C-alpha cells in the first residue's frame, strides 16, 4: 500500500537502488512489527490500557520504586516465577497486572488477561465451543497469563 509513496520519495531524493530497497525492507519490517504488536494486544484482552508509568506509587505504600523497577525488568517471567498480587479492593492490583502485561507485550512476550470467572467458563466449555478452544490455545501459548479476581 505504501509502495507508491516510497517510489515517489526515492525519485525525488534521487536514491540509489540499494537505498530504495533498504527503505522498502525497513518499512516492511517496521510494519510487520507493528501488526504483530497490535495482534498481541488484541489477544491479551486487557480490560483497559494503563501502563506502569501511570501507576501512582505514592498511593501504594507496600510497593517501593525499586520493587516496581524489578517487576518491570520481567526477569521473573524468564525464570518462570509466579507473581501473586494480594490486597483489598481498590489498591491497584489490576492496574499493576495490566501494566506488567503491557510491558511484557512491548518487550516481545505474549500475554493474556482473564478473570477467574472467565477462565473457569472457558475451561468448562473448551470441548464444546471453538471460541473456548481458541482462547485456551492462546492461554497455553502465552508467556504471561494474568488471572484477575483469583479469589473468585
Concatenated DSSP letters for 75-140?
A: HHHHTT-------STTSSHHHHHHHHHHHHHHTT--EEEEEHHHHHHHHHHTTT-HHHHHHHHHHH
Residue 152 has pLDDT above 70, yes or no: no
d(CA 150, CA 69): 24
Number of domains forming the structure of the chain? 2
Which one, of 59, 66, 113, 67, lies nearest residue 87 by Cα?
A: 59
Based on the fold, state whether residues 129 and 57 are members of the same structural domain. Answer: yes
pTM listed for this prediction: 0.82
pLDDT digit string (tens) for 104-151?
999 999 999 999 999 999 999 999 999 999 999 999 999 999 999 877
Do residues 109 and 143 touch, judged by C-beta distance below 8 A?
yes
Please give the Cα distance from 119 to 138 (Å, whole number).
12
Is the same domain home to 66 and 6? no
**What does the pLDDT look like over 32-88, one tens digit per residue?**
999 999 999 999 999 999 999 998 888 888 888 999 999 999 999 999 999 998 888
Q: Which domain holds residue 3?
A: 1-36
Same domain, 67 and 142: yes
Amino acid at each position: 500500500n505504501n509502495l507508491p509513496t516510497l517510489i515517489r520519495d526515492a525519485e525525488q531524493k534521487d536514491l540509489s537502488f540499494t537505498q530504495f530497497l533498504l527503505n522498502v525492507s525497513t518499512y516492511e519490517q517496521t510494519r510487520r512489527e507493528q501488526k504483530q504488536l497490535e495482534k498481541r494486544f488484541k489477544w491479551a484482552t486487557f480490560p483497559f490500557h494503563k501502563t506502569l508509568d501511570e501507576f501512582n506509587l505514592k498511593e501504594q505504600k507496600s510497593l517501593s520504586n525499586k520493587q516496581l523497577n524489578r517487576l518491570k525488568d520481567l526477569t521473573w517471567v524468564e525464570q518462570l516465577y509466579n507473581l501473586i498480587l494480594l490486597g483489598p479492593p481498590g489498591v491497584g492490583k489490576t492496574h499493576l497486572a495490566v501494566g506488567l502485561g503491557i510491558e511484557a507485550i512491548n518487550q516481545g512476550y505474549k500475554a493474556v488477561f482473564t478473570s477467574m470467572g472467565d477462565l473457569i467458563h472457558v475451561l468448562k466449555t473448551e470441548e464444546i465451543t471453538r471460541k473456548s478452544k481458541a482462547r485456551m490455545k492462546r492461554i497455553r501459548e502465552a508467556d504471561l497469563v494474568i488471572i484477575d479476581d483469583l479469589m473468585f
